[in-house]
Amino acid sequence: MKLGPFILRRLLLAIFVLIGLSMVIFIIARVVPGDPARLALGPRAPVEVVEQLRKELHLDKSLPIQYWIWLTNALHGDFGKSLVSRRPVIEDIKEYLFATLELIFFTAIFMVFFAILLGTLAARNKDRWADNLIRVSAYIGVSIPAFVVAVFFILIFGHAWPILPVLGRLSSQFHISRVTGFMIFDSLLAGDLNAFWDAFTHLILPAVALALGGTFQEARITRSSMVDNLTKDFIAAEKGYGIPERIIMFKYLLKPSLIPTVSVMGLDIAATIGNAFLVELIFNWPGISRYGINAMLYKDLNAISGTVLIIGLVFVLTNIVVDIIVTFLDPSIRLGGVRGE
Amino acid sequence: MDNKEFRITTIEKSREEGKWYRFWDRIFRYWYYFSRNKLSVLGMSIVVLVILLAILAPYVTPYPEHAGPFVDFKNAGQPPGIKYWLGTDPIGRDIFTRIIFALRGALVMSIVVLAIAVPVGTLLGLLAGFYYRTIIDTIIMRISDVFLSVPSLVLALSIAAVLKPNLMNAMIAVTVMWWPWYTRLVYGMASSVRNEYFVIAAELRGASKFHILFREILPNCLSPVFTKMALDVGWVIIISASLSFVGLGEQPPKPALGQMVSDGAKYLPELWWMCIFPALAIIITILGFNLFGDGIRDMLQSSR
């Protein structure tokens, strides 16, 4: 399979999936709750006003037409107004989305870095104490929900041992103008190193809380795939050439061993985006997930549909990127061959 | 009784006994493979203990009435001790009792979710795999793709939020999100089994579609389904705890694990026991089910 048609096929599939997702969201936000006009105006609004709003929201038309109007508006970035912030939902999303992307981006970097580091460590020390320690940590890490880790962090770093900030994105004395939306890059662009350090320390705890479970699991996968590949012929050949073990380990063994890790990464990022909903709430991280959770608690239907659609978009794109990376790591696919035997 | 009849009854009897023998033989073999890993046995012990505690909750807990609207300001905020093993909350309810009753809710939720999602997902996956590369396959699999295109927690949260927040609707929300995993799993198995010779032989023999689906294909797809079920109990508990953590699960005064953690977090660090012990209960329960599920997977793999 060639890379170009493969990406094209994935993109077409993604568009199809997103249309389906928009239908599901439409059903959740517009059909299930009953009468959105009544919900927006409250139980004591007079009937004429409700009827007026129903006309404005096109609720008097049939469901397929309503869906079509809703979808075309959504494609133009118009999700309606938020009940809570009283602004267009798209403005809110623009404001909050990048904080979440920043968090997930650094969570992913943390996960990749430590998964590879710990996985290589475990593979080199197979069946010794480091390996066993990582195995036990993986079991426990998978069993701790991210929000429990977050609460523990609040207890440890918020109360017992306050060395890292636990709330928000930046301390109040710093004011960074927004360029990229990523606080870390913006503070660097502004040349304010103190603000950069402050933003970075704010990022550590939420990112670690999100990454913890996935990191150990991926370390395990990296480890077992490295151990599998260690018995392959090409490693024996390289040993025969007299290439030092360290170079074999990092240059020739690691890359093919990362394929299963990156595949699982897609699933772990899914979990991360989901868990961000609770972790952002706990750390008061001003991201789209915290916004979404608040929308859910206030039954803010326009905000819910906008948030979930954007999250779905981010998620689908992440999966395409993961697929492309996997394809790229596997030379038999990259060079136009067929995977497997 | 003539000789022939005697012989036949003896053979039937020994066959009957052989059946029992084979049954116990299989049980012991499975147990051998399962108990080779001590962690699996530990997991099973935790699972059995949790299930027993949950079933017997009104009898094993010291203050069953504390799992509801109960107020006792005299004993409010007691630290863990002999009278209240894990302490009390600010209105004097026993944390231990409430944890056990919350476990009960979490287990009921897992059972209900899996009892609906697994048969539905399996059936749809079976149909899609049987009608491989036809319009039925396309429709079913694309719909399940849609549900897998957004993190399950996010859609479950929004469904639970749009409906009235309570345990029932949390179950509905999680069930709606859960079946596609089984559809995809069974689809992969069924579509490859579908072209095996024994299935084609049954088709040529004129077997009904029902027979082919449920007697020929389904038995070959079941062992990964059981493995996933054992592992999924832990996941459902995580999701249900997450829902109740933000207030979209079981409503107070009834206890739920996530709700207890979030309530307890408000009283940190003074009443630390309110938050730490429910969190530990979540971790231990999920750890138990994960170890147990891993054990089941290894057992089914090595006994094949």
Instruction: Return the CATH number at B171.
Output: 1.10.3720.10
pLDDT of residue B112: 94
CA dihedral B106, B107, B112, B116 (to 10 degrees): 100
Question: For the purposes of burial, counting CB atoms within 10 Å of the CB of A193, is it exposed (0-12), middle (13-18) or buried (19 or more)?
Answer: exposed
Q: Is residue B270 part of a domain?
A: yes
A297: chain B residues, CB-CB within 8 Å: 161, 246-248
Residue B138 within any structural domain of the chain: yes
How far apart (Å, rounded) are the C-alpha atoms in residues A97 and A288? 5
Mean pLDDT of B22-43: 88
pLDDT tens digits for range A200-253: 888 899 999 999 888 988 888 888 888 888 888 888 888 889 888 888 888 888
- Which residue's entry shows tokens 């509801």? B68
Evaluate whether B189 touches B221 at the Cβ level (below 8 Å): yes
Confidence of residue B117 (pLDDT cuts 50, 70, 90): very high
Q: Which domain holds residue B194?
A: 36-302
| pTM metric for this prediction | 0.85
The CA-to-CA distance between both ends of chain A, in Å, stands at 14
Q: How far apart are CA A134 and CA A122, in angstroms?
A: 7
Taking each helix axis from N to C end, the angle separating B95-130 and B38-55, rounded to the nearest 10 degrees, works out to 110
Q: At what angle do helices A129-143 and B272-302 cross, to 10 degrees?
A: 110
Residue A217: what pLDDT? 86
pLDDT of residue A302: 85
- The set of residues, in sequence order, having a beta carbon less than 8 Å from that of B169 and lying 6+ positions away, is B159, B160, B163
Asked whether residue B54 is assigned to any structural domain, the reply reads yes
Q: Which residues contact A284 (CB under 8 A, 6 or more apart)?
A: A167, A168, A290
DSSP state of B72: -
What pLDDT band is residue A340 in, cutting at 50, 70 and 90? very low
Provide mean pLDDT across the span B70-78: 80
Task: Tell if the CB–CB gap between B149 and A315 is shorter than 8 Å.
Answer: yes
The rounded mean pLDDT for chain A is: 83
What would the mean pLDDT of A95-116 be, rounded to a whole number? 90
How many domains is chain B built from? 1
Higher pLDDT, A6 or A70: A70
Task: Give the confidence band of A339 by pLDDT, cuts at 50, 70, 90.
Answer: very low
pLDDT of the residue at A341:
34
Does residue B15 form part of some domain? no
- The least confident of A136-140, A335-339, B43-47, B195-199 is A335-339
> What are B63's two structure tokens?
């203050």
DSSP A171: -
Give B85's pLDDT tier (boundaries 50, 70, 90). Answer: confident
Closest residue to B245, CB basis, from A147, A274, A316: A147
The position carrying tokens 């981006």 is A105
Chain-chain contact of B291 with A282 (C-beta, under 8 angstroms): no
Residue position matching structure tokens 């949390």: B170
Closest partner residue to A143 among B142, B234, B265, by Cβ?
A: B234
Torsion angle in degrees (nearest 10) through CA of B110, B115, B120, B123: 120
Among A27, A104, A151, the strongest candidate for a mutation testing the B interface, having the largest count of B CBs within 10 A, is: A151
User: What is the pLDDT at residue B14?
Assistant: 73
**Contact between chains at B283 and A140 (C-beta distance less than 8 A):** yes
- Contact residues, chain A, for B151 at CB < 8 Å: 270-271, 273-274, 311, 315
Locate the chain A residue with the closest alpha carbon to B272.
Answer: A155
In a domain, B14, yes or no: no
Provide the residue type at A226 as one letter: M
B17 in a domain, yes or no?
A: no
Lowest mean pLDDT among A134-143, A189-198, A279-288, B269-278: A189-198
Helices (H), chain A: 3-26, 36-41, 47-56, 63-75, 89-124, 129-143, 146-153, 183-189, 193-230, 233-240, 245-247, 254-283, 288-297, 301-329, 331-334
The mean pLDDT value for A130-139 works out to 87
Using a CB-CB cut-off of 8 Å, the residues of chain A touching B47 are none
State the Cα–Cα distance between residues B232 and B178, nearest whole angstrom. Answer: 10
B1 domain residue, yes or no: no
> 3-class DSSP state for residue A180?
coil
Q: Do B149 and A21 touch (CB under 8 A)?
A: yes
pLDDT of residue A130: 86
B182-230 per-position pLDDT tens digit: 999 999 889 888 888 999 999 899 999 999 999 989 988 888 898 888 8
pLDDT at B87 over 60: yes
Is B7 inside any structural domain? no
Q: For chain B, give the mean pLDDT.
A: 87
